Amino acid sequence: MLMLGFEGFMGLLKIVLMALAAFALFDAAFRREDAFRAAGKQTKVFWLVILGIALVVSYLFSILSILPAAGAVASIVYLVDVRPAVKALTGGNRGWGRKGRGGSSSDGPYGPYNG
């Protein structure tokens, strides 16, 4: 009974690490290339390769081996260090397909709301 609980916890942890790596990979894929260089971080291709490897390793290997732990560290480094620096340069969520109009809280979908 105890082993079933442990296996369930490890399976849940594996899913969480895969989701973390997948989110970091997709976030890096939609950020602009020049923002990585301007932030003084490694290139976009470097982070895409590292995060892609982290996602594959977290899927293929047991959670108790060293490779998924290294992938988790790479994902956390991207999310804690690289992503905020790149996001600050690009102005928030513009990397996710928004075309980067500045704007205020009173802006509607077609421009400022003057009501």
Start-to-end CA distance of the chain, whole Å, equals: 63
Name residues whose C-beta falls within 8 Å of residue 26's C-beta, 6 or more positions apart in sequence.
none
Can you say how many angstroms the Cα of residue 62 is from the centroid of all Cα atoms in its chain?
A: 22
pLDDT of residue 104: 60
Percent of the chain with pLDDT over 70: 76
Under a CB-based contact definition with an 8 Å cutoff, are residues 61 and 10 in contact? no
pLDDT tens for 59-83 read: 998 888 899 899 999 999 999 999 9
Name the one residue in this structure whose structure tokens are 């369930």: 8
Q: Kind and range of the H or E element at 107?
A: strand 107-108
pLDDT of residue 77: 94
pLDDT of residue 52: 95
Cβ burial of 109 (10 Å; 0-12, 13-18, 19+) is: exposed
Residue 106, pLDDT above cutoff 90: no
Cα–Cα dist 28/112, whole Å: 30
Q: Identify which of 81, 78, 87 has the alpha carbon closest to the alpha carbon of residue 32.
A: 87
pLDDT of residue 80: 94
pLDDT tens for 42-52 read: 999 999 999 99
pLDDT of residue 45: 94
Give me 101's structure tokens: 């109009």
